[in-house]
Amino acid sequence: MRIAAGVEYDGSAFCGWQYQEHSPNVQAVVEKALGKVANHPVRVMCAGRTDSGVHAAGQVIHFDTDAVRSEFSWVRGSNSNLPPGVRLLWTREMDETFHARFRAQRRYYRYVIFNRPIHSACLHKRVSWEYRPLELPPMQQAARHLLGEHDFSAYRAVACQAKSPVRTLYQLDLRQQGPFIIMDLSANAFLHHMVRNIAGVLMRIGAGEAEPDWARQVLELRDRTLAGVTAPPDGLYFTRVDYPAQFELPGGADNPGAGGVFDFFSVI
């Protein structure tokens, strides 16, 4: 049978999601924990690979197994074998038409910027710190240039292996909450470092070092070397994945992880 699962993790202790033989990675610890519950080796497929240091509140995976276990047993059994920074949130039995990566329709990320002269000791590795005062309206104005379907060559890593740089960005919203600037994005898919490169461009604009139209100019040049710095991974969270309604997976407001993870930004 095929099992889908939701995964939450603190990425600061890992060199990304993807399996690497000589580096700590989220995929390896998840597969090991699931394998202990299944009593056989397990290989998982994820909705989207995250980079070193990037967190997830709503990663979705699937795996195939002959083991018959209840949803409770998959979740509790796996979590008892996972390190504290990784948790299974839910599981669902699926049919063979489900695929965590290829059936995903939209992916969502949140980037959290902590904007004050001194970094927070309590939020180390949880938020991206920017000491320069940032003005939100120019960042919001610049963000509008990036919405829609574009060639995002200038906003992806030089080493990105995606066959096409064309992506559709459905959402790029920015809001301020005390010292936090929160950026929410959704797209059909994201390129390597795409969110962090967008954040880097918008922060430079917010700091007054470039005009809002620079975001459009960077996009049209299609040259990564002209696009400025890549923002740190610390404040980046993979928050949600949308699938066709037929699969009836948790998502949005029903996501059992995202709400609790992000409520702390409202109370600090």
pLDDT tens string 226-248: 777 899 999 999 999 999 999 99
φ, ψ at 55 (rounded to 5°): -100, 170
Domain 2-103: CATH architecture, name and number where available: 2-Layer Sandwich (3.30)
pLDDT of residue 253: 40
Fold: same for 2-103 and 107-237: yes
Q: How many CB atoms lie within 10 A of CB 268?
A: 13
158 burial (CB, 10 Å; 0-12 / 13-18 / 19+) is exposed
147 burial (CB, 10 Å; 0-12 / 13-18 / 19+) is middle
DSSP state of 66: S
Residue 267 banded pLDDT, cuts 50, 70, 90? very low
User: What average pLDDT does the chain have?
Assistant: 92
Catalytic residue among 51, 64, 184, 242: 51
Q: Where are the domains of the chain?
A: 2-103, 107-237
Which residue in this structure is represented by tokens 């180390």? 124
Residue 22 banded pLDDT, cuts 50, 70, 90? confident
Residue 251 banded pLDDT, cuts 50, 70, 90? low
242 is catalytic: no
pLDDT for 176-199, tens place per residue?
999 999 999 999 999 999 999 999
Q: What is the dihedral of CA 79, 185, 137, 200, to 10 degrees?
A: 80
Domain 107-237: CATH architecture, name and number where available: 2-Layer Sandwich (3.30)
Q: What is the pTM of this model?
A: 0.93
